[in-house]
Structure 1
Amino acid sequence: MKILTAIFVTVLVLAVGGFIVNQSLSATEMAQGQQSSHYHNGRFENDQPIQANTFKTFLKVMARYFTADKTDHEPDVVLPINTLTREQLEALSDDSFHLVKLGHSSVLLKVYGEYWLLDPVFSKRASPFSFMGPKRFHPTPISIDELPPIDKVLISHNHYDHLDKQSIKQLVGKTRQFLVPMGVEGDLRKWGVAEDDIISFDWWQDITTKNALIAFTPSRHFSGRSFSDGNKTLWGSWVIKTGHESVYFSGDSGYFEGFKKIGQKYGPFDLTLIETGAYDNMWPDVHMLPEQSVQAHIDLQGKTMIPVHNGTFNLALHTWYEPLERVTQLAAQHDIAISTPVVGDIMQIENLVKTEHWWQAYMPD
C-alpha cells in the first residue's frame, strides 16, 4: 500500500504541476467550448501560455519526488481549529460580510444574510479514491449537514482539491445555485445538480445578484480529473463586489499579467484570497511562489491578503508550514496587511484578524 500511495502521490504532484494533460475532446465537449475565445484546437488555453512539458520533465519530477526529503511535509501534531455550529453562524448579523476559512482553499461566506461556499472540499482526501491520496491534516470546522441552507457555491476549477464530488452531492439538497467555469456543469449534472441550478461562466462574464456583483476572471492554470480530460473545462478566479466590500478569490494560478488587468477592472480589493501553497520551481507557470503571491496581491490593488491553498493537504515538496512562514515574512517586507486565521475563525471583512503566527507553535524545534 505504501508503494501504491507513493506512486499515486507522484502522479498527483505531476497533475498539480500541469504535467498531465490530454488534449482529446468529444464532439459534445468541443461544441461547449466553441463560444469561448479561450478555446482553440479542441481545448481551453491560457491567455499567457504555460511551458510545454516533456516525458523527460515527467521523469525528473518522479525522480525528485522519490529522492526528496519528506521531513515535515505533514504535521506530526494536531493542528488547531475552531469548531463551528449552525447556531453560531445564524447569530452573525445579516447586515455585514462575514468569512470563515474552512481549510485549503475552501471558504464559507455570509454575504448580508446569504451563505456562500468557495471551492468546498469536505472529504478526508483530495483524491478520486477514499482510501488513497493526500489526507487532510485536520477536520473541517463544521460538517455539511450542520451548515445552514447555502445560497451559492462558487467553483474555480475541477481539480480534486477544489471540486469534490462527495461534497457537491451532499450540497445538492441544500444549495440554491452553483456557479462554475465553462464545462464543469457536465460533472455537476452527473452528480445530481439540476441544470436550472447551474450557471456556467467564461472569463470576464458576470452576474448581478441581490447583494453583489459576481464576476468570473482569468487565472493561469489548467484543468482535468483524469488522464483523458485535460483542459476540457475552463479554470479561473472570482470577484465579489457588494455595495461596501470587494473580495478576490484566486483559485489556482501561476503568476501572470492578468492580475493587473483584474485589478484595473474590478479593484481595489478590500480582501484578496490568494493561492500560496503547492508551489515548486519545477512548475512555476501554474502555481505561484510566495513572492509571486505577494506581487499578485499588489497587482490586484489589494488591501488585506489571506493566503489560502495551504495547511490542509500535502500536495507538493515543501514543508506544510513553509508557505505561511515565507508569505508572512514577505508581506512584512512589503508593508502588506496579511491575515492568517486559524481554520474556523469567524471574521468580518471590515475587521479582519491580524497576522497570527499560530503555526510556529507546531513547527519542529
Structure 2
Amino acid sequence: MTPFPTPGISWSDHSGSPQFRAGRFRNAREQQPVARTESGLKLGWDFLFNKPATTTPDGPLPLHRLTRAELDATPAPSLYRLGHSSVLIRLRSGWWLTDPVFSLRASPVQFAGPKRFHPVPITAAELPPLAGIVLSHDHYDHLDKATITELAPKTGVFLTPLGVGDRLIDWGVPRAQVRQLDWWEEAEVDGVRLIATPAQHFSGRTLSDSNRTLWASWVIDEGDLRLFFSGDTGYHDGFAEIGRRLGPFDLTMMETGAYSDNWPFVHMHPRETVQAHLDLGGRWLLPIHNGTFDLAMHPWDDPFEQVLAYAAPHDIEVTTPVFGDRLDLTAPHPGERWWRTVGTSTAETAGDRR
C-alpha cells in the first residue's frame, strides 16, 4: 500500500456492526496468517524487480468498443464485462455497474502503479444514466475516485459496504445518493433487491487507515434473475451460507486472479473459485478480477486456463466474453478463448501449475 496521507474523512459511527471491533472491521474468521517480515520484504522486492515477463500480455487484447447507441438498444437482461471487476448490467430497472475503475492505473497516482492492459470499452462520459453503482471495497483496483466523481451526476444510488460510503461523501457525492450496508443488510431500488453478503478480505487506501471500511460481496436479485458478485475474497465457509439463504444463482461473477500462496486468506486460487461457485449453487460462472491489471506473479492469462480446467470435471458452464461483448443473461454462452490469440498462451502448460 502506498503511504499517502489519509484525508480528514468524517467517519460515520459503525460501532454497532458485529464486524466492527476495537476500531476496525474484522473478518468472521480472524486467523489470518501473518507473513514474516523477511518474507514480506522478499515478496515486495520480487514484485518490483523480479516479475516474470508473463505477468503482462505481449500483444494487444481483443476488445469490442461500445457506443451509447449500442447500449441504448441493448435488451434486458444483458451484461458487459468492461475490465477487471467492472461489470455493466442491464436490468429491467436500468443500468447497474460494479466496481468501476476507468483510470489508466489502479493507483493513488497516475504516473505509477498497475497500468491497464486494454482501454475501457466505453468512456464514463458515454455511459447512459445508471440506476446504481455497487461497490465491494475501497482498494484502488475497485474504487477509483476519478471514475466515481465523473459518474456521480448520472448515478441514482451508490450501494457500498459500511465506511466506503463515507469516502464517497468526502469526495463530494451527495449523502442522499449513498446507502451503506452491513453484511446481510439489504436495499430495494426500483424493484431490484441488493444484499451485502460476507467476504473475507481487508481494506484501506493508505498505511494509516487499514480496515476502517468494510468489504463485501453482493447479491443482485430481480426476482426472475439472481446474480452474485464476489468482490475480492479468500475462500470461506460463508459461501455455503449465502447459497443456502439466497441462492441458487443464474450467474456468479467470481474473483479469479491475483492469487498467490503468500495470500490465500484474501484471494482465491481458481480451484477455490470453482468450489465457491458450487457452494453458492451457481449455474454460469463469469471469472473476473483478471485480464486488466498486473497484480500478481502468475502469468496474466493463467486465471482463465486454471478456472476452465477446474470447472470441467464439475460440468460447470463458464463464460469468458471479450471485453465489451454482450452476454445475454437469458441465454448465456461460453464466449471465446480470446486470450489464446494474444502472443504466447499458457494453455499448454496450465496443467503443470495446478
> If the TM-score is normalised by the length of the shorter chain, which range does it land in?
over 0.9
**Aligned counterpart in structure 1 of residue 180 of structure 2, from 189, 195, 200:** 200
Match status 1:134 vs 2:114: yes
Change over 3 Å in CA distance of 1:86–1:48 after alignment to 2: same
Q: Mark the runs of 5 or more structure 1 residues left unpaired by the alignment.
A: 1-10, 13-19
Deviations along 1:14-45, one digit per CA (max 9) or x if unpaired, are xxxxxx9xxx9x9964x622110111111000
Opposite residue 189 of structure 1, the aligned amino acid is I
**Aligned counterpart in structure 2 of residue 245 of structure 1, from 220, 225, 229:** 225
Deviation at 1:331, TM superposition (A): 1.2
**Aligned counterpart in structure 2 of residue 58 of structure 1, from 23, 40, 64:** 40
SS class of match (2:78) = strand
Structure 1 stretches of 4+ moved >6 Å: none
User: C-alpha distance in 1, partners of 2:51/2:144?
Assistant: 29
User: C-alpha distance in 2, partners of 1:66/1:116?
Assistant: 36
Match status 1:34 vs 2:51: no
Deviations along 1:184-226, one digit per CA (max 9) or x if unpaired, are 1221112220001100000000012323211000100000001
SS class of match (1:199) = strand
Change over 3 Å in CA distance of 1:145–1:28 after alignment to 2: closer
Larger deviation, residues 49-58 vs 98-107: 49-58
Match of 2:58 in 1: 76
Deviation at 1:113, TM superposition (A): 4.6
Q: Contact (CA 8 Å) 2:83, 2:291: kept in 1 or not? A: yes
Match status 1:231 vs 2:214: no
User: C-alpha distance in 1, partners of 2:224/2:170?
Assistant: 37
Deviations along 1:248-279, one digit per CA (max 9) or x if unpaired, are 00000000001001001100000000000011
Match of 1:145 in 2: 125
User: C-alpha distance in 1, partners of 2:223/2:113?
Assistant: 42
User: C-alpha distance in 2, partners of 1:251/1:27?
Assistant: 24
Match of 1:300 in 2: 280
Opposite residue 38 of structure 1, the aligned amino acid is Q
Q: Contact (CA 8 Å) 1:155, 1:162: kept in 2 or not? A: yes
When the two structures are superposed, what TM-score results if normalisation uses the length of structure 1? 0.90
1:328-347 matched pairs, under 5 angstroms: 328-347=308-327
Match of 1:85 in 2: 67
Opposite residue 130 of structure 2, the aligned amino acid is I
**Aligned counterpart in structure 1 of residue 297 of structure 2, from 310, 313, 317:** 317
User: C-alpha distance in 2, partners of 1:62/1:286?
Assistant: 17
Match of 1:43 in 2: 24
Q: Contact (CA 8 Å) 2:131, 2:156: kept in 1 or not? A: yes
Change over 3 Å in CA distance of 1:333–1:361 after alignment to 2: same
Q: Number of paired residues?
A: 342
Q: Contact (CA 8 Å) 1:68, 1:317: kept in 2 or not? A: no
User: C-alpha distance in 2, partners of 1:67/1:79?
Assistant: 25
When the two structures are superposed, what TM-score results if normalisation uses the length of structure 2? 0.92
> RMSD between aligned alpha carbons?
1.9
Opposite residue 357 of structure 1, the aligned amino acid is R
Q: Contact (CA 8 Å) 2:257, 2:290: kept in 1 or not? A: yes
User: C-alpha distance in 2, partners of 1:153/1:190?
Assistant: 17
User: C-alpha distance in 2, partners of 1:248/1:254?
Assistant: 15
Deviations along 1:344-363, one digit per CA (max 9) or x if unpaired, are 01112121121421111114
User: C-alpha distance in 2, partners of 1:166/1:178?
Assistant: 15
SS class of match (1:117) = strand
SS class of match (2:141) = coil
SS class of match (2:191) = coil
Deviations along 1:150-189, one digit per CA (max 9) or x if unpaired, are 1101100000000000000101111111111101122111
